[in-house]
A and B are shown apart, each in its own frame.
Chain A
Amino acid sequence: MEHAKSASWGDRIYDISIYTILAIIMLGTLYPLLYIVSASFSDPISIVKGELWLLPKHITLNSYEKVFHNPDIWMGYRNSLIYLVVGTTINIVMTTMGAYVLSRKDFKGRYVLVLFFTFTLLFNGGLIPTYLVYKNMLGLYNNLWVMVIPSAISVWNLIIMRTYFQTAIPDEIQEAAFIDGCSNIRTLTSVVLPLSMPIIAVMTMYYGVAHWNSYFTALIYLNDHWRLPLQMVIRNILIQEDMSAMAGSEGESLVEQLLMAEGMRYAVIVVSSIPMLLLYPLVQKHFVKGVMMGAVKG
């Protein structure tokens, strides 16, 4: 920092502009998020009247009370957790198995297999043929399996993980394990995997966030209301504005119901994003790491 003193006027203006622009970008990103949180704690009347700018007005927990009394929210939470846990477990097991085998230079046919797998990135059956085949031929319709099986492997993640196995695990360690009489599977579970926790963390985050945030599969393949994941539940509330039905209770006027719905909207957004916010530092770190790992290959 010793040259800071000798910095020219031009450089100083340059620095000031950069910090100013970044500060504006930061506030611009943050403001909507803060507004949502504030609105969720405010009396809906102040939102509607436009009195709310940054800090909560007439703080109340009414909106949250309504949200937590909504059985669909709990149902959605429970379903999403099940899909997340079962789905991510399958993701990790399947991706690890595939990636490890593809990383082995002595495995014959790995080039053919990589082509076979990556082709599906370029071309696929398309929505309707896939739907008909899943539903009529594979029985993947309106059950737990359709939520966790079709997404079992992402080819990108498979490639990232294979690259990790190839570059981060020294060949010598594996060879030593073979000399000690380990089978391939034994080597994978007791030598390679303990050294692969960074990539497994990255994969868990990638797959986990994708499961938690997705609604598409549920929209297409789920029929029973009680199976719906959280994203579908909140879609019905936020976007289809099915709120009067939810917020309504005996003896409230239509205006009161609409007001209630207005406050709930923000509380629903907060409640559905809580897991992500709690895990955010972890998620962020590993997502950034994942981009780097992908870039090594790209």
Chain B
Amino acid sequence: MTSGSEGGIALPRSIRKNWDLYLLILPVVIYFLLIKYLPMYGIQIAFKDFSAAKGIWGSDWVGMKHFVRFFNNYQFWTLIKNTVGISIFQILLAFPLPIFFALLVNEVRGKWFKKSVQSITFMPHFLSTVVLVGTVMAFLSPSTGLVNNVIRAFGGEPIYFMTEPGMFKFIYVFSDIWQNMGFSSVLYIAVLAGIDKHLYEAAMIDGASKLKRLIHIAIPCLIPTAIIMLIFQFGSIMDVGFEKIYLMQNDLNRTSSSVISTYVYEIGLLGSQYSFSAAVGLFNSVINFVLIIIVNQTAKRVGGTSLW
């Protein structure tokens, strides 16, 4: 329990007066303790040789053995390269597009058209990852897929997209753009809608063309938000999601689709090497933690905004 900061008597009185507030928050605190913090107690198995018989607490300490093994693993650099590579590729391509899209939508005057554009482009965002990957696989199928039907119609040879390692990153990022570009623009569209109309009127009186108004008013107004979003994207560079990559993965594209999170799942849950995979996961969590701290400090300095 925390002790009252305003003298010893403050807390007891506050509890007496607001006892039912404590009652309300109690289940929430218990939830966080059991569901979020108790697993952290399990992290110690990364430094132990976990055996189911001895349990988390009773297993024997082995120090940094599992970490050393991971760093010397022949897959180590492949995993890092794939994890960071997919993230960077994602930032380069998928990050600027919603901004561009928001700028376009903001220029539309017709209410009906504007609404249709948004309703349609937001729609794929709500499809599940399974449906998205299932769709991608159906479209890219070498024998029956639409894309290869088009290629064949133009006399080309069908391409085995899903099993070609070099294609993985592209498929991952382009399907993400199709799914999320529209919805990711919501924030930017809101910022643009909040721009003071007088700025535009003043520019119009000065004879600025629409393009000039876009470049000198709309874009500068978006930059602070965009920078913050970009910084946070960099914070999660080692944190590429498991769900979609795992579904897109197959034995033939593995050289470019194995990332840390799928590797942890494979060796940990499928291979039952609990301690080793816990060490790999911890290594990843620590890097993520450090990155997000650095990024938060940067955001504070650059944009005056931060998570905390």
Interface residues of A (CB under 8 A from B): 1, 3, 8, 10-11, 14-15, 18-19, 21-22, 25-26, 28-30, 32-33, 35-36, 47-48, 50, 52, 94, 97-98, 100-102, 104, 106-109, 112-113, 115-118, 120, 122-134, 136-138, 149-150, 152-153, 183-185, 188, 209, 212-216, 220, 231, 234-235, 237-239, 262, 265-266, 268-269, 272-273, 276, 280-281, 283-284, 287-288, 291-292, 295, 298
Contact = CB atoms under 8 A, between A and B. Distances in A.
Interface of A is mostly: helix
Contacts of A127: 261, 264-265, 268-269, 277, 281
5 nearest A-B residue pairs (beta carbon): A125-B39, A129-B42, A238-B134, A50-B149, A126-B281
A184 B21 contact: yes
Interface string B172-210: 000000100111001100100000000000001000011
Contacts of B80: none
Contact of A235 (B24, B32, B247): B247
Interface of B: 2, 4-5, 10-11, 14, 18, 20-21, 23-25, 27-29, 31-32, 34-43, 45-46, 50, 55-56, 101, 104-105, 107-109, 113, 116-117, 119-131, 133-135, 137-139, 143-144, 146, 149-150, 152-153, 178, 181-183, 186-187, 190, 204, 209-211, 228, 242-243, 247, 261, 264-265, 268-269, 274, 277-278, 281-282, 284-285, 288-289, 292-293, 305, 307-308
A292 B289 contact: no
Given A10-B211, A280-B123, A153 B31 contact: yes
B21 A104 contact: yes
- Residue from A48, A120, A128 whose CB has the most chain B CB atoms within 10 Å: A128
A50 B139 CA distance: 11
A24 B276 CA distance: 49
Contact of A276 (B10, B126, B133, B153): B126
Interface of B is mostly: helix
Nearest to A100: B24
A128 B116 contact: no
A108 B21 CA distance: 10
B153 A50 contact: yes
B137 A238 contact: yes
Nearest to B261: A127
23 contacts: A1-B109, A25-B104, A29-B121, A32-B178, A101-B25, A115-B308, A129-B45, A129-B56, A130-B42, A131-B269, A132-B42, A133-B56, A137-B38, A185-B24, A220-B265, A238-B131, A238-B134, A239-B134, A265-B134, A276-B126, A281-B119, A287-B186, A295-B190
B143 A48 contact: yes
Given A47-B144, A129-B39, 14 more contacts: A29-B120, A29-B123, A101-B25, A120-B32, A124-B285, A132-B56, A134-B39, A149-B31, A149-B35, A152-B35, A183-B20, A231-B130, A269-B134, A273-B131
A8 B210 CA distance: 9
A107 B22 CA distance: 9
